[in-house]
């Protein structure tokens, strides 16, 4: 069976990795990417698909109901993979409004237009709305607490997490009320190729290359579970094909690491890969800076539901995945250099102003 997918946010980090995964595995499927190309969206990520018969790129906003309706109808979409979002916690602290607008209102608009379209088509049972969300909706764990499960109550702490939680609730309600075939996935911190430079792993690699300080928030002992983006895309593929509508699946990498240890691992890799760095060993650049307001201590998800029900497990260890990722940033300077724009510099100044 060939599918006709609408991938929102497909020019961003995870979305573009997902498009690549889907194209490699289902070359005959039709894909439309709808992306507003915000600071985080980059059409270079999809340039290799230009001119392909079964691929379309539409620049536009998920809050534009008329556009969403037109895209669904024109391209006979049967699966929405919804990645589009404002995704960075630090930016949500500096300016929460766009997070509510895109993550809550944008998701609402997509749901409403998809519902209308699905009902008009006679409620086909094979249609899917996959909503990609985060483990941050569950709040923060203490160091010895059991990992989040799909049944853990929501307790979002940042404006970003609250906006994602709001969108998750709407997705759930559309399934419960209208039987719209929605599925939610809540994943842990992704890493890998094509991640925007402001996130911890690329930021650390790039700052080492430039001899800039490596800002570590607070005491550096906050823990994140790291999921390689390729493992994540494989999980989303399985969820689209075999997941149960109305269900939620947690997706994690089973790789919990303290931030400071992660940064040290990257420093070691850079020391190993590059004979001449502006500052070597790179670990000398580590600088503890003022903590992020409301900084969650630890996130980690249990992945037993998706393992038992759908047979998915992550394959990449953080040691292997970091090696690949650091190498990718070293080999793809021409991808990230243009992203260190004026806008990026001014964000950087605002976010790290007291310490850098």
Active-site positions? Answer: 135-136, 160
- What minimum distance in Å lies between the beta carbon of 172 and ligand TYD? 22
Peptide bond into 311 cis (omega under 30): no
Out of 84, 165, 180, 326, the only residue in the binding site for ligand NAD (CB under 6 A) is 84
Per CB under 6 A, 347 contacts ligand TYD: no
Q: Quick one: 189 or 204, whose CB is closer to ligand NAD?
A: 189
Task: Enumerate residues 242-301 that contact ligand TYD by CB under 6 A.
Answer: 259, 292
Angle at 115 between CA 112 and CA 117, to 5 degrees: 110
* Residue of minimal Cβ distance to ligand TYD: 217
Per CB under 6 A, 250 contacts ligand NAD: no
Q: Strands (DSSP E) along 3-159, which ranges?
A: 4-8, 30-35, 55-59, 79-82, 128-134
- Cα–Cα distance, 50 to 7 (Å, whole number): 16
Q: Give the one entry of ligand NAD, ligand TYD, none that residue 71 binds, where binding means its C-beta sits below a cut-off of 5 to 8 angstroms depending on kind.
A: none
- What minimum distance in Å lies between the beta carbon of 276 and ligand NAD? 31
Per CB under 6 A, 92 contacts ligand TYD: no
Among left, alpha and beta (phi > 0; psi -120 to 50; other), residue 354 is alpha
Task: Enumerate residues 57-76 that contact ligand NAD by CB under 6 A.
Answer: 61-63
Residues 118 and 80: beta-carbon distance below 8 Å:
no
Q: How many residues bind ligand NAD (CB under 6 A)?
A: 30
Helix 13-25 with 229-242: angle, nearest 10 deg: 60
Per CB under 6 A, 83 contacts ligand TYD: no
Task: Enumerate residues 118-137 that contact ligand NAD by CB under 6 A.
Answer: 132, 134
- What minimum distance in Å lies between the beta carbon of 324 and ligand TYD? 17
Q: How many residues bind ligand TYD (CB under 6 A)?
A: 12
- What minimum distance in Å lies between the beta carbon of 231 and ligand TYD? 17
Give CA separation, 326 vs 55, 177, 208, 265, in Å: 30, 45, 11, 10
Per CB under 6 A, 87 contacts ligand NAD: yes
- Cα–Cα distance, 332 to 336 (Å, whole number): 7
Q: Quick one: 99 or 217, whose CB is closer to ligand TYD?
A: 217
Which of 48, 52, 73, 20 is CA-nearest to residue 233? 20
Out of 163, 189, 190, 254, the only residue in the binding site for ligand TYD (CB under 6 A) is 189
Residues 165 and 203: beta-carbon distance below 8 Å:
no
Task: Enumerate residues 209-238 that contact ligand TYD by CB under 6 A.
Answer: 215-217, 222, 224
């Amino acid at each position: 069976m060939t599918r006709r997918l609408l991938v929102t946010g497909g020019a961003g980090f995870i979305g573009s990795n997902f498009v690549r995964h889907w194209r490699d595995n289902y070359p005959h499927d039709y894909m439309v990417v709808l992306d507003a190309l915000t600071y985080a969206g980059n059409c270079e990520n999809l340039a290799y698909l230009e001119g392909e018969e079964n691929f379309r790129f539409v620049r536009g906003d998920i809050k534009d109901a008329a556009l969403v309706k037109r895209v669904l109808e024109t391209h006979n979409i049967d699966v929405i993979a919804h990645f589009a979002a404002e995704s960075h916690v630090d930016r949500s602290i500096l300016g929460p409004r766009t997070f509510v607008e895109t993550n809550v209102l944008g998701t609402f608009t997509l749901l409403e237009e998809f519902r209308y379209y699905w009902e008009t088509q006679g409620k086909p049972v094979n249609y899917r709305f996959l909503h990609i969300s985060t483990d941050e909706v569950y709040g923060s764990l203490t160091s010895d607490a059991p990992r989040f499960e799909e049944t853990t109550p929501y307790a979002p702490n940042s404006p970003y997490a609250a906006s994602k939680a709001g969108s998750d609730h709407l997705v759930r309600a559309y399934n419960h009320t209208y039987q719209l075939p929605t599925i939610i996935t809540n994943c842990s911190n992704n890493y890998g190729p094509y991640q925007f430079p402001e996130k911890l792993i690329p930021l650390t690699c790039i700052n080492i290359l430039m001899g800039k300080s490596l800002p570590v928030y607070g005491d550096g002992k906050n823990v994140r579970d790291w999921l390689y983006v390729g493992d994540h895309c494989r999980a989303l593929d399985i969820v689209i094909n075999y997941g149960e509508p109305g269900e939620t699946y947690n997706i994690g990498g089973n790789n919990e690491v303290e931030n400071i240890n992660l940064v040290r691992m990257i420093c070691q890799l850079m020391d190993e890969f590059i004979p001449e760095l502006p500052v070597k060993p790179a670990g000398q650049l580590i600088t503890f800076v003022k903590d992020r307001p409301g900084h969650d201590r630890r996130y980690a998800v249990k992945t037993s539901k998706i393992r038992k029900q759908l047979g998915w497990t992550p394959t990449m260890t953080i040691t292997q995945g970091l090696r690949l990722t650091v190498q990718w940033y070293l080999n793809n300077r021409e991808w990230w250099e243009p992203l260190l724009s004026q806008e990026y510099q001014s964000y950087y100044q605002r976010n790290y102003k007291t310490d850098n």
